[in-house]
């Protein structure tokens, strides 16, 4: 949004800004759409914290749940097995591309074409400490994952139908 006082100013006309047609960079290199996605994620974090009975007791460990073609969502570590049933048992854990986090997914949902690996199902992206324990993701991690997904999500055609996948290398 463009403000008259110069803060948050972008090179769009005020009419474009009012009609939400302004997609140029307007806040620290973020487009309006990037900013809206970040606001949604922060809203989800706030909602999750409000739902906790006693948030002072223990901070929930948040993970980023991704599905090709859909926006990422935040889940707690307790919800990981519901999102990815093989989590912690038969999942593949490797470094997530372009971000300094790990990615966990079901090996049956990975396919290769030549040397290129594609994931066509859900995955969890999270952080680990030096002992291998899961740590909560940060707002910066969430933004980097959003950007990575934008760059790496593509459409492939299988049996005449297009489907979104995430390129892993």
Report the number of distinct structural domains present in the chain: 1
The predicted structure's pLDDT at residue 48: 62
Confidence (pLDDT) at 3: 40
Which pLDDT belongs to residue 64?
94
Position 37 in a domain: no
4 lies in some domain:
no
Task: State the residue range of the domain holding 114.
Answer: 56-167
For residue 5, is it within any domain? no
Confidence (pLDDT) at 36:
72
Task: Answer whether residue 30 is part of any domain.
Answer: no
Is 3 a domain residue? Answer: no
Please list the ranges in the chain whose pLDDT falls under 70.
1-30, 35, 42, 45-58
pLDDT, residue 28, reads: 54
In contact, 136 and 90? CB cutoff 8 Å: no
Question: pLDDT at position 7, please?
Answer: 41
Nearest to 34 by CA among 151, 158, 155: 151
Please give the model's pTM, rounded to 2 decimal places: 0.67
- What is the distance between the alpha carbons of residues 103 and 53, in angstroms, rounded to a whole number? 29
Residue 63, domain member (yes or no): yes
Within a domain: residue 124?
Answer: yes
pLDDT of residue 58: 67
Within a domain: 47: no
pLDDT of residue 57: 59
């Amino acid at each position: 949004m463009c403000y008259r006082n110069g803060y948050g100013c972008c090179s769009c006309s005020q009419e474009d800004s009012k009609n939400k047609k302004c997609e140029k960079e307007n806040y620290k290199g973020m487009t309006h759409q990037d900013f809206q996605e970040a606001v949604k994620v922060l809203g989800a974090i706030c909602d999750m914290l409000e739902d906790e009975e006693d948030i002072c007791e223990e901070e929930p460990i948040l993970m980023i749940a991704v599905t090709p073609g859909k926006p990422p969502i935040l889940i707690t570590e307790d919800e990981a097995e519901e999102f990815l049933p093989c989590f912690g048992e038969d999942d593949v854990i490797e470094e997530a591309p372009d971000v300094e986090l790990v990615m966990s997914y079901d090996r049956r949902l990975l396919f290769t074409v030549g040397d290129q690996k594609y994931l066509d199902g859900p995955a969890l992206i999270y952080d680990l400490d030096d002992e291998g324990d899961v740590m909560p993701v940060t707002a910066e991690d969430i933004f980097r994952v959003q950007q990575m997904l934008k760059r790496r999500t593509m459409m492939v055609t299988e049996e005449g139908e297009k489907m979104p996948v995430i390129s892993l290398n």
